[in-house]
């Protein structure tokens, strides 16, 4: 082969290979829940309808967004609890990327926004999850009625 051919084609192949290397690697989105299954127990109630609450902040949510698309991402929260009798809500405390919504009351139904305006290429962003269980005296107690068992799902939504 001719030396001129190598001088023109070799750098082009090197650059093309370099671009393909970065294209293939890429960064995907992830969503990780830390803290495991939680139990919140309300053991006392006040007659007359006053709400009694228990707060748990033992869980964290870690999320990563890819560099593309360039729009902001969001996280929604959904729960399912057949025969729900008591109240449960969740709040994102101090998210390191994005804006936390106000406290979300967890009921069977559509997924409200939980964290919005998460910038692209947010790597290892975190927040503390604050769960609040509450019940009134009139709602009864789980000893008599049984426990509410929730399945809570967090979803990272592409823009």
- The tens digit of pLDDT for each residue in 55-75 reads 999 999 999 998 887 888 999
Per-residue pLDDT, 29: 82
DSSP state of 80: E
Domains assigned to the chain: 27-157 (2.60.40)
Token pair in block for residue 125: 């962003």
Residue 28 and residue 66 in contact, taking contact as beta carbons nearer than 8 Å: yes
Instruction: Work out the percent of the chain whose per-residue pLDDT is above 90.
Output: 38
Average pLDDT over residues 33-62: 83
Residue among 49, 8, 58, 15 at smallest CA distance from 138: 49
pTM: 0.77
Give CA angle at 83 (34, 87), nearest 5°: 55
Q: In angstroms, what CA-CA distances link 41 with 20, 132, 134, 148?
A: 54, 10, 9, 10
Residue 155 and residue 78 in contact, taking contact as beta carbons nearer than 8 Å: yes
């Amino acid at each position: 082969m001719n030396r001129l051919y190598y001088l023109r084609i070799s750098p082009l192949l090197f650059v093309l290979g370099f671009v393909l290397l970065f294209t293939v690697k890429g960064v995907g989105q992830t969503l990780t829940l830390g803290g495991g299954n939680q139990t919140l127990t309300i053991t006392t109630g006040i007659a007359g309808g006053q709400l009694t609450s228990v707060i748990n902040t033992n869980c964290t949510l870690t999320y990563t967004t890819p560099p593309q698309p360039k729009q902001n991402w969001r996280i929604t929260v959904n729960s399912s609890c057949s025969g729900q009798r008591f109240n449960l809500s969740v709040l994102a405390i101090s998210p390191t990327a994005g804006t936390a919504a106000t406290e979300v009351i967890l009921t069977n139904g559509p997924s409200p926004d939980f964290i919005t305006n998460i910038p692209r290429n947010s790597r290892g962003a975190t927040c503390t999850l604050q769960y609040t269980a509450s019940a009134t005296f009139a709602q009864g107690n789980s000893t008599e009625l049984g426990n509410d068992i929730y399945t809570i799902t967090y979803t990272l939504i592409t823009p």
